[in-house]
């Protein structure tokens, strides 16, 4: 194999569809205002106290400028059209106009935790109630993990590598890390890196509820009267995450490619670290998370004292939040008392395979704007009294080095450090 070119890699644009809005701009505006995107589930009927979810409030696929009724009907796995939309937004945000020079040098890596589960559900219904000949011939493509990237390529006309990093809740960071390595090594000049998931289905809502992963909102819970308070990472009364749908993509570019095309760098991908737990399918392993954190800092050629902000995985589960803070304390020691640590999931819920890419984009925009996004709904937990979680309101603060954490089911961990430019 050819030797790596050791090129620097920058983020030059992003796109997102989240419970705060169908574009990154809408998401950012509401995030800065300290809003949350939660409501009673509308996409399906469930019989569960875990019926507070994060749905994209203004997501209307038929109103997109590249779809029609046939396209939406055939591609009924929501993560396909979600990916097409956020990739289109991200390229426009970056100012990239596809041409014969860019197209073969652009890759697309879109991860997911649950892929086309919604398409499979429709097929099962059709098989049972309408017969085998009514199962869609598009079922298998809708289930393929690489199809969102493939459909984005068909829409946007790039012909570089496409595949799906399957890292559950860490998929977005895996996509960014792999994409950065591909650019560094000279395999491509641009990468659309991110994730997409559409898990608002009754089977999945009940499945997560029965795992005791998502919050059960009973009459005595503060979220019973105010759905916005359902997700509360690092709070003393945290009871589980809010299941959400969404998609997020960042555009990565080689330094010289960005300069050649007049693109504006927003952050540099400075370091990546990844490990696996070999421990449990959901319960985290502190030792391997600590190793991922240390390896990320080492890959960036930094010291713990250099990190100025941590975008936490922060799911709002009792054990998950406790373990993450324990690991951060191990790596940073007393330094952690001076480093803001906040969780976007307090506002977005958990978008599974999309979450890390969405949070990366929010972190980078925060560095550009000099704003730390908050951990809303915060009621202090004495166990975390030494941690600055940026409680309840965004804060004006300049920072240039940010660590973004993502830990996924199956015991997969991936962290990324970004340097603002």
- Active site positions, annotated: 169, 313, 350
β-strands 52-53, 39-40 pairing: antiparallel
- Degrees (nearest 5) of the Cα angle 46, 51, 56? 105
Round to whole Å and give the CA distance between 233 and 400: 24
Tell me the three state secondary structure of residue 231.
coil
Please write down the HEC assignment for all residues of 272-314: EEEEECCCCCCCCCHHHHHHHHHHHHHHCCCCHHHCCEEECCC
How far is 180 from 202, CA to CA, in rounded Å? 37
Sequential DSSP letters for 365-397: HHHHHTEEPPB-S----GGGTT----BSS-EE-
CA-closest candidate to residue 7, choices 254, 251, 250? 254
Q: How far is CA 127 from CA 96, 142, 200, 357, 385, in A?
A: 43, 16, 21, 36, 55
SS3 at position 224? helix
What DSSP element (H or E) covers 193?
A: strand 190-197
Element (H, E) at 148: helix 147-156
Query: Within 10 Å of residue 73's Cβ, how many Cβ atoms?
Result: 11
Terminal Cα-to-Cα distance of the chain (whole angstroms)? 32
Angle, alpha carbons 361-376-397 (nearest 5°): 55
CA 250 to chain centre: 10
Specify burial of residue 159 (Cβ count, 10 A radius: 0-12, 13-18, 19+): middle
Separation CA 100–CA 359 (nearest Å): 32
Asked whether 399 and 367 are in contact (CB, 8 A), the reply is: yes
């Amino acid at each position: 194999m050819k030797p790596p070119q050791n090129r620097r890699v920058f983020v030059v644009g992003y796109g997102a569809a989240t419970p705060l809005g169908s574009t990154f701009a809408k998401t950012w505006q509401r995030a800065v205002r300290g809003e949350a995107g939660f409501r009673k589930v509308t996409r399906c009927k469930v019989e569960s106290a875990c019926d507070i979810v994060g749905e994209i409030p203004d997501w209307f696929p038929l109103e997109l400028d590249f779809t029609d009724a046939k396209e939406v009907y055939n591609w009924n796995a929501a993560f396909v059209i979600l990916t097409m939309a956020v990739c289109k937004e991200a390229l426009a945000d970056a100012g990239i106009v596809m041409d014969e020079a860019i197209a073969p040098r652009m890759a697309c890596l879109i991860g997911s935790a649950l892929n086309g589960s919604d398409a499979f559900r429709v097929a099962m219904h059709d098989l049972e109630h309408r017969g085998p000949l009514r199962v869609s011939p598009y079922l298998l493509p809708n289930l393929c993990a690489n199809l969102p990237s493939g459909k984005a390529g068909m829409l946007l006309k790039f012909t570089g590598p496409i595949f799906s990093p399957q890292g559950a809740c860490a998929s977005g960071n895996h996509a960014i890390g792999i994409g950065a390595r591909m650019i560094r090594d000279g395999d491509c000049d641009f990468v659309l890196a991110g994730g997409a998931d559409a898990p608002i289905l009754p089977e999945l809502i009940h499945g997560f509820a029965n795992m005791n992963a998502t919050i059960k909102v009973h009459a005595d819970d503060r979220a019973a009267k105010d759905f916005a308070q359902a997700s509360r990472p690092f709070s003393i009364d945290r009871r589980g995450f809010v299941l959400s749908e969404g998609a997020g993509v960042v555009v990565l570019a080689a330094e010289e490619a960005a300069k050649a095309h007049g693109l504006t760098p927003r952050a540099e991908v400075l370091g990546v670290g990844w490990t696996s737990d070999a421990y449990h399918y959901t319960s985290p392993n502190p030792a391997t998370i600590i190793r991922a954190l240390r390896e990320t800092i080492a890959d960036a050629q930094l010291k713990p004292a250099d990190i100025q902000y941590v975008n936490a995985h922060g799911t709002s589960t009792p054990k998950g939040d406790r373990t993450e803070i324990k690991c951060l304390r191990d790596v940073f020691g007393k330094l952690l008392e001076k480093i803001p640590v906040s969780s976007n999931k307090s506002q977005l819920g958990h978008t599974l395979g999309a979450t890390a890419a969405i949070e990366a984009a929010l972190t980078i925009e925060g560095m550009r704007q000099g704003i730390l996004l908050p951990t809303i709904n915060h009621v202090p937990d004495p166990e975390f009294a030494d941690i600055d979680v940026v409680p309840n309101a965004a804060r004006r603060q300049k920072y240039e080095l940010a660590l973004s954490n993502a830990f996924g089911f199956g015991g997969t961990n991936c962290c990324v450090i970004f340097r603002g430019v």
